[in-house]
Amino acid sequence: MGEAIVITSGKGGVGKTTTTANLGTALALQNKKVCLIDTDIGLRNLDVILGLENRIIYDLVDTVEGRCKIQQALVKDKRFDDLLFLLPAAQTSDKNAVTPQQMAKLVEELKLDFDYVLIDCPAGIEQGYKNAVAGADKAIVVTTPEISAVRDADRIIGLLEKEEIEPPRLIINRIRPQLMKNGDSMDVNEITTHLSIDLLGIIPDDEQVIRSSNKGEPIVMEPSTQAAIAYRNIVRRILGESVPLMSLENEHKGVFSKIKALFAK
């Protein structure tokens, strides 16, 4: 029996879908059988980021309305043999096409076959959010160091605490170390004390993420980048390892400071 994790944020554009795609891929790289569910009915994206857009035949709404079997709607990612699957959202309906009860039942069935079921939640706190949370055992809240994203994360955490799921954990996405260092954006410590939930990981802002998303290849597949390492660290933490938070300072060190550091030893 696997576990279902919902990935949510409240605010849009903070990187829920990118995070879902990357965590799913990284879990598959760790030999876990993973199913990703896109619950953003009407505005599906997850298939595009995974590069699976062309292979969709049936979708989430077809499944819950009984037009196909769950297995028929699942899209297999051929890069991972039988480890990574996507249940895409419908593009032609809206959020009200599915009820939380139907979602809970669907997730329950998927948990029998998969080690992890990751649910990509749409932005907002309406029907789409309620559907996404319905079947989840755990929750991950994604935020960025912007004050507006943190406010919305606070609201969503309040709502999640009312659900019968474990206390949510936090991912701070798109961190720009220089801004944080200069005090121009909230720092990691400030955000975690404000939201007072456990920190699952931090991900630096990286152009490479955008580039690879546009190619339909999640960034974790290029392990040399900092963002990929950050996502892989998060997955190791999800699997129960204790991995220290990555330091964001090192990357932008110039030659001069490297030499200085040498002498400092």
Partner 1 sequence: MTTKQLVLIKGTKEGLVLQLDDQCAYSDLLDELKRKVTEDGLEGQAEVTIHVGNRYCNQEQLKEILHIVQQSKHLKVSKIKSDVITVEECNQKLLKSQSATYIGIVRSGQELRADGDLVVIGDVNPNGKVIAGGSIYVMGRLKGMAHAGVEGNRECVIAASWLEATHLMIADLMELMTNEVTILAEKPEMECAYIHPNGHIAIDRLQDLRILRPNLSTFKGGS
> Which residues are at the interface with partner 1 (CB under 8 A)?
151-152, 154-155, 157-159, 161, 194, 196
Identify which of residues 61 and 142 has a Cβ nearer to partner 1 in the complex: 142
φ, ψ (nearest 5 deg) of residue 14: -95, -10
Report, in Å, the least distance between residue 130 CB and partner 1: 15
Distance CA 45, CA 18 (A): 9
**What's the closest the beta carbon of residue 197 comes to partner 1, in angstroms?**
9
CB closer to partner 1, 62 vs 152: 152
Residue pair 141/6 in contact (Cβ under 8 Å)? The answer is no
Estimate the share of the chain in helix, then strand, then coil, as percent rounded to the nearest 5: 45, 15, 40
Cα 241 to Cα 236: distance, rounded to the nearest angstrom = 5
Residues 83 and 40 sit within 8 Å (Cβ to Cβ)? no
Contact call for residues 116 and 239 (beta carbons, < 8 A): no
For partner 1, which is the closer residue by CB, 75 or 153? 153
| Shortest reach from residue 195's CB to partner 1, in Å | 8
Q: In a 3-state reduction of DSSP, which class is residue 176? A: coil
Question: In this complex, which beta carbon is closest to partner 1, that of residue 57 or of residue 147?
Answer: 147
Query: Least distance (Å) from partner 1 to the CB of residue 187?
Result: 16
Q: How far is the CB of 86 from partner 1 (least distance, A)?
A: 32
CB of 122 to partner 1, least distance (A): 18
- Cβ 153 to partner 1, closest distance in Å? 9
Token pair, residue 26, equals 């990284």
- Sheet with 198-204, strands from edge to edge, namely 75-76, 84-87, 34-38, 116-120, 3-8, 138-143, 169-175, 198-204
Bridge partners (DSSP) of residue 4 are 117
Please say which residue, 193 or 224, places its beta carbon nearer to partner 1. 193
Q: Based on CB atoms, which residue is closest to partner 1, 78 or 155?
A: 155
H and E: helices and strands count for the chain = 12, 8
Amino acid identity of 20?
A: T
CB closer to partner 1 out of 3 and 154: 154
